[in-house]
Structure 1
Amino acid sequence: MRRGNALDLYKTRTISVTSGKGGVGKTTLVANLALNLSHAGKKVLILDGDLGMANVDILFGVKTEGSIHDIISGRKEMKDILVEVSKDVFLIPGGSGVVDFNHMNHFERRAMMEAVNTLPMGFDYLLIDTAPGIAENVLFLNSAVQTVSVVITPEPASFADAYALIKVLNRQYKVNRFAIVCNEVRDEEEGLSLFKRFNEVVNRFLYIGLDYLGSVPNDPVLRKANQLQRLIVRHDPAAESARAIRQLSLQIERTSRQIESNGGMQMFWDQVVGIA
């Protein structure tokens, strides 16, 4: 496995996909976005940051051997757990249990950084699938990335909990810009309307910026693919939802050109292990 270096890691765009509540389709979105980005010639690393209910591997139909817990404990090296789940899409499995990045000791931090330094070179994107809610680890992972993408749905609880997540990240970690994905909507019109209502509520109480990343309709083909634990862009690339996810991928690529070159994956891991 080729060793990474700071230059490569600084060029990597880091994006979290997060939500205030569970069941909004985060993991499905992350997996499909990663696949689409790889189809566009990009190299993608997924960190399954839902450290209690990790399941990105299931969507890709692969079996993982170990998790990030094994890295921190020193039981395994990155080459032992890193999985290429599809061409140019790699996964760092989250496993089960709870990893408290904020309270790692010196040896755990050293083990993590040594593992990161053995990552393959040339990743264009690091996508982090976080757990839902406002637990400390969720907030911590979100605060370390360049772009925090919040997934909302028309369900009132999703709307309210997403607002709570954004408020806490803004107040505690000074995150002041967020990308919004409207999922499980009828169509683009409903998605845009949902974003406008959410934006109005958020900006009534918080001084932050929200960017509309796009919408994904909950069409019957997507529901069927999810039931079969298949990725919609593989299951039926012509489906309305698959086309919408491709548009999201294109929007991510366009906005990537606007992200400053500093930061990237090196800065993300430095912050995660507490040495930034």
Structure 2
Amino acid sequence: MKYNGLFQNSGTRTISITSGKGGVGKTTLTSNIALRLSQTGNKVLIFDGDLGMANVDILYGVKSDGNIHDVIMGEKSIHEVIVEVAKDVFLIPGGSGVLEFNNLNSFQRRAMIEAVGTLPQDFDYMLIDTAPGIADNVLYLNAAAQTISVVITPDPASLADSYALIKVLHQKYKENKFAIICNNVRDEAEGVGLYQRFNDVVNKFLYIGLDYWGSVPMDPVLRKATQLNRLIMRHDMTAESAKAIKNLSLQIENSSQKIVTKGGLQMFWEQVVGVA
């Protein structure tokens, strides 16, 4: 799915990047994966769906002039708030405060869909950085995406909360396939072991499929880059974490060759605001 300017909305791969609890590095991963996908010839749209703690723009060092809430309220057009944060990487800022998609009135729903319909039609990927947990907004964004990827860490609380998230999405939205990203591990071996243990527990109680997308180690270079609000894919491409993100992005591109069952960009937003 390389960018050639010819893809329509139905060709956009929508991927949520979510977690059961906060502090697992989800936003850092989303931002770095988006940059790497653009480096391999893709056009990427990020939706900062962590509506209470939106901070993707900070990692890219770009200040946005508005957010998705401004669009829904009719105060700005989506073209006024979307910002190109890097070459072929665009961001729809989530803003601050809580925005309940399920509380939108019919006018706001229509306004949202009409606004999204005016977006450029040639994105290869949209990455949705969700808030952690099982709030309604998080569930809506995940259920609307073609692929739900869950970030887990060795922290027992991360595993327990991620299991809870997967269980709710399975029971409430009939989701039965997820991708797993292991973060903050010592190395690939620990990541594989973490995935296998988590997979064993989940499949003991739920009849679902978990794909292993890869692991990203917590190395000193990544820690330093994050402290400086820098992306590791810009800071040091030779770092172990950067190599892991390259592999992770390649896995995402390879999985894009599989047949997807949900619609693309337009269908995602229609499902989120409840008109599909």
TM over 0.5, yes or no? yes
Amino acid at match of 2:121: M
Shift of 1:110: 1.5
114-123 vs 179-188, which moves further: 114-123
Looking at structure 2, the residues matched to 271 and 89 of structure 1 have their Cα atoms a distance apart, in angstroms, of: 24
Shift of 1:261: 7.0
- Name the residue aligned to 1:18: 18
- Name the residue aligned to 1:190: 190
- Name the residue aligned to 2:272: 272
Unaligned 5+ residue runs, structure 1?
1-6
Amino acid at match of 2:183: N
Shift of 1:101: 1.1
Looking at structure 2, the residues matched to 139 and 270 of structure 1 have their Cα atoms a distance apart, in angstroms, of: 14
- SS of residue matched to 1:237: coil
- SS of residue matched to 1:154: coil
- SS of residue matched to 2:8: helix
- Name the residue aligned to 1:255: 255
Q: Deviations over 1:170-208 (max 9, x none)?
A: 011111000000000000000000000000000000000
Amino acid at match of 2:155: E
- Name the residue aligned to 1:226: 226
- SS of residue matched to 1:21: coil
Shift of 1:99: 1.3
Shift of 1:275: 1.4
Amino acid at match of 1:71: V
The answer on whether the counterparts of 2:146 and 2:261 sit within 8 Å (CA) in structure 1 is: no
Amino acid at match of 1:271: Q
Amino acid at match of 2:161: D
- Name the residue aligned to 2:76: 76
- Name the residue aligned to 1:177: 177
The answer on whether the counterparts of 1:17 and 1:148 sit within 8 Å (CA) in structure 2 is: yes
- SS of residue matched to 2:51: coil
Q: Deviations over 1:204-252 (max 9, x none)?
A: 0000000000000000000000000000010000000000000000000
The answer on whether the counterparts of 1:13 and 1:124 sit within 8 Å (CA) in structure 2 is: yes
Q: Deviations over 1:246-274 (max 9, x none)?
A: 00000000000103375111210110121
Amino acid at match of 1:205: F
The answer on whether the counterparts of 1:11 and 1:262 sit within 8 Å (CA) in structure 2 is: no
Provide TM-score, normalisation by structure 1.
0.96
Identity of aligned residues (%): 70
Shift of 1:121: 2.1
Aligned length: 270
Looking at structure 2, the residues matched to 115 and 79 of structure 1 have their Cα atoms a distance apart, in angstroms, of: 9
Unaligned 5+ residue runs, structure 2?
1-6
- SS of residue matched to 1:132: coil
Q: 5 Å matches for 1:97-108?
A: 97-108=97-108
Q: Is 1:114 aligned to residue 114 of structure 2?
A: yes
- Name the residue aligned to 1:128: 128
Looking at structure 2, the residues matched to 157 and 218 of structure 1 have their Cα atoms a distance apart, in angstroms, of: 18
Looking at structure 2, the residues matched to 140 and 180 of structure 1 have their Cα atoms a distance apart, in angstroms, of: 19
- Name the residue aligned to 1:4: none
Looking at structure 2, the residues matched to 172 and 183 of structure 1 have their Cα atoms a distance apart, in angstroms, of: 27
Looking at structure 2, the residues matched to 104 and 225 of structure 1 have their Cα atoms a distance apart, in angstroms, of: 38
- Name the residue aligned to 1:3: none
Amino acid at match of 1:81: V
Amino acid at match of 1:101: F
Provide TM-score, normalisation by structure 2.
0.96
256-265 vs 149-158, which moves further: 256-265
Q: Is 1:43 aligned to residue 43 of structure 2?
A: yes
Amino acid at match of 2:113: M
Looking at structure 1, the residues matched to 166 and 195 of structure 2 have their Cα atoms a distance apart, in angstroms, of: 14
- Name the residue aligned to 2:33: 33
- Name the residue aligned to 2:217: 217
- Name the residue aligned to 2:242: 242
